[in-house]
A and B are shown apart, each in its own frame.
Chain A
């Protein structure tokens, strides 16, 4: 399979041993026992969170958290949704994630196309800079970005703070800038593997650069784009740092940063916090179940990711 340069994520996403390897089938009782023990350990925190969330606080106060019995219901979920404004957080997450992922893939694919299909002087230098930028710890850029956003004025009609702070733009822009490097690196490698004749033929036919990009290269990159889109949706949804730094108003926080407020607000109500945590997991879980192979493919495509 390694001889095939255009392996789609479907092939990558199933890192399951195939019979054709010709290894003898053995009994793996010991391995199974070990794996089951580890898998149980891995699941306990998730199951404990769900279990705590399903029990009203009055019940756990009465029986203790480590107990069976009493009432089980979804009250904590409805309370967390109503009292903590989780709905707003989720909407904010969508407002931030969707444009970020679209812009990242648009800019990264343009850049990748230019550096991988054409040869010019600084393309490797730029590619190195893009890749390096993505590997930097974000804290390194925190102070200047915060100050830039604070002192660059915006009309009040666009931003009620009069600058970039406390806006979705700031988070979208910085997330996009940070993710472009990684996506450019992955896509440029993918595009380099496409046969050169494809675009040469188009060039002979008189197709312009944009047409080559849009009608020839981009459709062929669909597997890579799908993998990156899935990966980036989860990355941006899970992003904590930039909203924490740029957004002060609670009503504009995305869920991953907002969940910390929940924890501060209801610090002794573990049942409610557990319900909030469970809510936060649901979108990721849905994406994972629907697009698992793309996600895993993206992770392995992007083994450069720090």
Chain B
């Protein structure tokens, strides 16, 4: 089941029974059809009203000027919000850069670290379970809590790191979350602390699902253990790899909580997700600008989402 659900190819296997099932549906009575309609109708209505209609409204609002005070104040604004964001909104391009850095860091450091941990722990070693629990603990914590815990590590005078470096209470104390030249990296280390454990769990399940005879065959052919991993084991985890790629991209696009808790996403920590919220809450509500930013985030997000859905449902339709 683990590989089955995680695997985008899995639903394809359900195709045949699905067809067979078709024959039975005409036997449904009127009452049964009504029950089914309710069972499908309520969840669909919820999705429609709270996800898909807002999505369309978000696109519509991005072409308006509105302060969210009264519905009658909504004024058409054409493309001016997009023009403003692209050309006159100072935090926008830094935020784009930071989102890209966030993605690169997760993809190059955090995700491979999770894979590495999984490979180490998949060996027959003693205490594997204890190690797993340790690396997994941060995955259960909320991102705001991760930010707060790392604030305790990073604080200028009170934090562990400055104390260990001997810089606390002095002029050289490093303000890890406050100094705009380094705070993004400090936040990324906090994010990695949580992300790597998540990836580790996924890959542990993936590695466990691998047919042992694959490795044996590779060993008989004289492959070294790294050759076995990169040429046999890793490629055969393709379904999990796809899920991990999609998760990594989407996490990078959604990134928001940690920087919002640190300083609301300003001063070196600008991210698109945080800029959207800055424009929506507080006094100067600029719904149009916030929506334009949200639409840009949506357009980029559609790339991994479509990729994932296409792979998952490809052979089913």
Give A contacts to B, CB under 8 Å.
1-2, 5-9, 11-12, 14-17, 19, 21-23, 25-26, 28, 31-32, 34-35, 38-39, 42-46, 48-49, 52, 60, 64-66, 107-108, 110-111, 113-120, 124, 126-133, 135-148, 150-151, 173-174, 176-178, 180-181, 184, 186, 189-190, 192-193, 196, 200, 203, 208-210, 213, 234, 237-241, 244-245, 256-257, 259-260, 263, 270, 273-274, 277, 280-281, 284-285, 287-288, 292, 295-297, 299-306
| Contact among B133, B150, B273 with A137 in the assembled complex (CB-CB below 8 Å) | B273
| A/B interface sample: 19 pairs, CB < 8 A | A15-B201, A22-B216, A35-B121, A38-B135, A107-B43, A119-B19, A119-B22, A124-B317, A135-B301, A139-B273, A143-B276, A200-B24, A203-B27, A209-B39, A245-B280, A296-B136, A296-B201, A299-B139, A306-B251
A305 to B247, Cβ gap below 8 A?
yes
| Contact among A66, A174, A301 with B50 in the assembled complex (CB-CB below 8 Å) | A174
B46 to A180, Cβ gap below 8 A?
yes
Can you list, as one digit per residue, whether each of B127-155 has a CB less than 8 Å from chain A (1) or not (0)? 11111111111111111110011111101
| Contact among B27, B61, B144 with A259 in the assembled complex (CB-CB below 8 Å) | B144
B46 to A130, Cβ gap below 8 A?
no
Closest residue on chain A to residue B216 by CB atoms: A22
Closest residue on chain B to residue A107 by CB atoms: B43
Range, interface on chain B? 35 or more
User: A127 vs B159: C-alpha distance in the bound complex, in angstroms?
Assistant: 48
Measured between beta carbons, the chain B residues less than 8 angstroms from A263 are 148, 151, 261
B297 to A139, Cβ gap below 8 A?
yes
Closest residue on chain A to residue B10 by CB atoms: A189
User: A281 vs B142: C-alpha distance in the bound complex, in angstroms?
Assistant: 9
B50 to A173, Cβ gap below 8 A?
yes
Among A25, A117, A144, A146, which residue has the most Cβ atoms of chain B within 10 A? A144
User: Distance in Å from the Cβ of B255 to the closest Cβ of chain A?
Assistant: 9
User: Distance in Å from the Cβ of B76 to the closest Cβ of chain A?
Assistant: 16
Measured between beta carbons, the chain B residues less than 8 angstroms from A108 are 43
User: A208 vs B35: C-alpha distance in the bound complex, in angstroms?
Assistant: 9
Is B218's CB within 8 Å of the partner chain A?
A: no
| Contact among B54, B193, B247 with A306 in the assembled complex (CB-CB below 8 Å) | B247
Measured between beta carbons, the chain A residues less than 8 angstroms from B305 are 132, 135-136
A49 to B32, Cβ gap below 8 A?
no
A209 to B36, Cβ gap below 8 A?
yes
A131 to B193, Cβ gap below 8 A?
no
Closest residue on chain B to residue A116 by CB atoms: B14
User: A142 vs B93: C-alpha distance in the bound complex, in angstroms?
Assistant: 21
Closest residue on chain A to residue B205 by CB atoms: A300
Give B contacts to A, CB under 8 Å.
1-6, 10-11, 14, 17-22, 24-25, 27-29, 31-32, 35-36, 39-40, 42-44, 46-47, 49-55, 57-58, 61, 68, 71, 117, 120-145, 148-153, 155, 157-160, 163-164, 168-169, 193, 197-198, 201-202, 204-205, 207-209, 211-212, 215-216, 240, 243, 246-247, 250-251, 253-254, 256-257, 260-261, 272-273, 276-277, 280-281, 287, 290-291, 294-295, 297-298, 301, 304-305, 308-309, 312-313, 316-317
A146 to B21, Cβ gap below 8 A?
no
User: A273 vs B149: C-alpha distance in the bound complex, in angstroms?
Assistant: 9
Measured between beta carbons, the chain A residues less than 8 angstroms from B136 are 296
Measured between beta carbons, the chain A residues less than 8 angstroms from B51 are 133, 136, 141, 177-178, 181
B39 to A114, Cβ gap below 8 A?
yes
Measured between beta carbons, the chain A residues less than 8 angstroms from B19 are 119
Closest residue on chain B to residue A136 by CB atoms: B301
User: Distance in Å from the Cβ of B137 to the closest Cβ of chain A?
Assistant: 7
A22 to B212, Cβ gap below 8 A?
yes
User: Distance in Å from the Cβ of A299 to the closest Cβ of chain B?
Assistant: 5
B291 to A143, Cβ gap below 8 A?
yes
User: A193 vs B12: C-alpha distance in the bound complex, in angstroms?
Assistant: 11
Measured between beta carbons, the chain A residues less than 8 angstroms from B137 are 42-43, 46, 288
6 more A-B contacts (CB under 8 A) besides A31-B120, A142-B294, A173-B50? A32-B127, A142-B290, A181-B51, A189-B4, A239-B142, A259-B145
